[in-house]
Structure 1
């Protein structure tokens, strides 16, 4: 007899990385520079992040740069000025990079921004499909209580994403950890 609530007892296990890759490959692929994937939460690439006018038109108030310090994603407080709050995560898009240490701090940053009236958050990396998508998925899992698969499907309604296999493994571990504690 398990001690899980009834709804958790019948929920499917976290899919394997191989199964997650199949889900990610499915559906239409589209490559906008920026997409709103959750109310007031956007995923974008470096071209939109480096264009202050585009950010102003979108009403972006907070930028989470998941490629902080890389050659083409050199965002900073100085670049955005006083009208945009900036948070930089120096992540490499490598399956060996430990992005998981940024899951909770980034999720907290996104949630505290979204708790402010009128806030709009851009999460970006170079291309906007792996690093930034991974942190948005973690946010949806941590603060919106989505499973990993639900989070992927929710984001894919608005943007094609493809976290690398290392990030998928880390997100699977987060999914299993969150399911145990809920």
Structure 2
């Protein structure tokens, strides 16, 4: 599939066995996020670092990024939504619509709240003329 970069949103103690060792025989760049699919988990601390990683990956020659977690519907979806909001200047509603046009997603309630807060913050920054990505 030509994947050049991996974001694993299920790294850490309750991880799926797809950490850096899993990809060691492939020519891919790996970024692990130790996140739990729990509404009380603060995934927002990863929004900007992951968005910058994805942007840099996509700007690299033949850059193609796989963002995954355990089920592909909550943690990874949340990080992709944050990327679209931060780097592609999409609202939360537009980002959800764009991603859902390609696959089913269901970020947990806590992650949705964190994305809503990001949406509000980005809206304020946009009105003030600040760039995000």
TM-score (norm 2): 0.90
The unaligned stretches of length 5 or more in structure 2 are 127-133
Of 41, 44, 49, 1:97 maps to: 41
Q: In the comparison of the two structures, how many residue pairs are matched?
A: 125
1-side partners of 2:42 and 2:88: how far apart?
A: 23
RMSD: 1.2
Q: What residue in structure 1 maps to residue 11 of structure 2?
A: 68
Of 116, 136, 141, 2:60 maps to: 116
Deviation per CA, 1:131-162: give whole Å up to 9, x if none.
Answer: 00000000000000000000000001100000
Aligned-partner SS, 1:101: helix
1:95–1:71: structure 2 CA closer, same or farther, 3 Å change rule?
closer
Q: What residue in structure 1 maps to residue 107 of structure 2?
A: 163
Contact 2:48-2:86 within 8 A present in 1 as well? yes
Deviation per CA, 1:10-64: give whole Å up to 9, x if none.
Answer: xxxxxxxxxxxxxxxxxxxxxxxxxxxxxxxxxxxxxxxxxxxxxxxx1111110
1:72–1:103: structure 2 CA closer, same or farther, 3 Å change rule?
closer
The structure with the largest alpha-carbon Rg is: 1
2-side partners of 1:69 and 1:75: how far apart?
A: 10
The unaligned stretches of length 5 or more in structure 1 are 1-57
1:149–1:59: structure 2 CA closer, same or farther, 3 Å change rule?
same
Q: Show the 5 A alignment for 1:11-50.
A: none
TM-score (norm 1): 0.66
Q: What residue in structure 2 maps to residue 6 of structure 1?
A: none
Contact 1:65-1:73 within 8 A present in 2 as well? no
1-side partners of 2:102 and 2:53: how far apart?
A: 22
